[in-house]
């Protein structure tokens, strides 16, 4: 009878030593790597500490702070590999799981609405109006609206719907900025083939906020000429006449540029939005976009600067929205066009 094989001893698991970045790095280095300083990282962690706390008492379990740091590193760079190569300790598999878990916690509506809010009260709207009017003298503005495309990898379902006019797969994101470059509304759920005007038409902003009169009279958004003219959405003249229309267009262009610069700031702060986001399904990309928007506002509230781009080049927004296709005049809402004429004649008769 053969002797039994000797029992194989189980090798003890080896864990990579984790760097305590909150204590080892100063605020400048933390902002460069994670876009938040130490106090900001702890602030964001406290928002979701409960959902991110692992009940097990095992060693080497990632703390809520480390989970936030892993996600921030991914959003800042767009590269999951850097999260595991950056002395943070987790394996690539753990990084992917942690990012999914942390995104889920931060993208809850209860969290997002604490930091992304559209002005509807007289006090809120008046404050926005004053801020915008200081830019170029354009009255009655509470926000500037635009769309921006975030590139994604080809989804496994409804792939064709995500191909935009430039021929790549994307999410078309509607975003509104105030004059201080904070995001007051964001819609991140539509495939790249969907036009800006349809996204606006289907949004709660159109159907509820302005549609049901939740905003005081005399409050407007500024949009480019790809949007329909409405009493609450002012667009530029395609062929302005000398006088009020030209004066209106000049102030409109300067004031509306806030949204273009705001999108540029958002994408410079979180580079994940600049390249192709290679996660599936697209709904997870939408979570990433909304969490980036919320974190951008938190950075604004805490006066955290945007680190200089590593290549020191100015990054510009997607050119898809610089020259949007124009609908024929007969298809544009006549009521909105007449209101725009009255508005321009009332406020821009003299070149200020």
Give one DSSP letter per residue of 91-102, joined into a string. -HHHHHHHHHHH
For residue 177, give every residue at least 6 positions away whose Cβ sits within 8 Å of its Cβ, in sequence order, or none. Answer: 143, 144, 183, 184, 258, 259, 262, 263
Tokens linked to 170: 């994307």
pLDDT in tens, the chain (352 residues): 566 666 565 555 554 556 789 999 999 999 999 999 999 999 999 999 999 998 765 545 789 999 999 999 999 999 876 665 555 666 788 889 999 999 999 999 999 999 999 999 999 999 999 999 999 999 999 999 999 999 999 999 999 999 999 999 999 999 999 999 999 999 999 999 999 999 999 999 999 999 999 999 999 999 999 999 999 999 999 999 999 999 999 999 999 999 999 999 999 999 999 999 999 999 999 999 999 999 999 999 999 999 986 443 334 455 454 444 545 444 456 899 999 999 999 999 975 5
């Amino acid at each position: 009878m053969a002797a039994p094989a000797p029992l194989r001893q189980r090798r003890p698991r080896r864990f990579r030593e984790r760097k305590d970045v909150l204590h080892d790095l100063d605020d400048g280095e933390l902002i460069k790597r994670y876009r938040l300083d130490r106090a900001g990282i702890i602030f964001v962690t406290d928002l979701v500490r409960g959902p991110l706390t692992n009940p097990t008492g095992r060693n080497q379990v990632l703390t809520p702070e480390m989970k936030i740091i892993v996600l921030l590193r991914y959003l800042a760079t767009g590269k999951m590999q850097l999260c595991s190569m950056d002395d943070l300790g987790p394996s690539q598999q753990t990084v992917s799981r942690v990012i999914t878990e942390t995104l889920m916690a931060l993208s809850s509506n209860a969290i997002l609405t604490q930091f992304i809010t559209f002005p509807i009260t007289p006090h809120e709207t008046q404050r926005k109006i004053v801020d915008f009017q200081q830019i170029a003298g354009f009255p009655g503005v509470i926000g500037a609206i635009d769309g921006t495309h975030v590139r994604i990898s080809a989804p496994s379902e409804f792939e064709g719907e995500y191909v935009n006019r430039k021929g790549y797969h994307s999410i078309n994101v509607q975003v509104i900025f105030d004059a201080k470059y904070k995001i007051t509304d964001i819609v991140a759920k539509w495939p790249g083939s969907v036009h800006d005007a349809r996204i606006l038409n289907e949004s709660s902003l159109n159907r509820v906020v302005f549609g049901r009169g939740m905003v005081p009279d005399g409050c407007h958004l500024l949009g480019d000429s790809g949007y329909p003219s409405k009493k609450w959405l002012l667009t530029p003249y395609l062929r302005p006449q000398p006088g009020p229309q030209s004066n209106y267009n000049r102030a409109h262009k300067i004031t509306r540029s806030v949204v273009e610069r705001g999108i540029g700031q958002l994408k410079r702060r979180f580079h994940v939005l600049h390249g192709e986001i290679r996660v599936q399904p697209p709904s997870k990309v939408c979570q990433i976009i909304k969490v980036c928007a919320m974190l951008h506002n938190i950075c604004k509230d805490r006066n955290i600067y945007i680190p200089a781009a590593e290549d020191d080049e100015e990054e510009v927004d997607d050119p898809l929205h610089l020259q949007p296709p124009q609908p024929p005049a007969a298809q544009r809402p006549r009521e909105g066009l007449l209101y725009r004429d009255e508005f321009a004649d009332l406020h821009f008769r003299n070149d200020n």
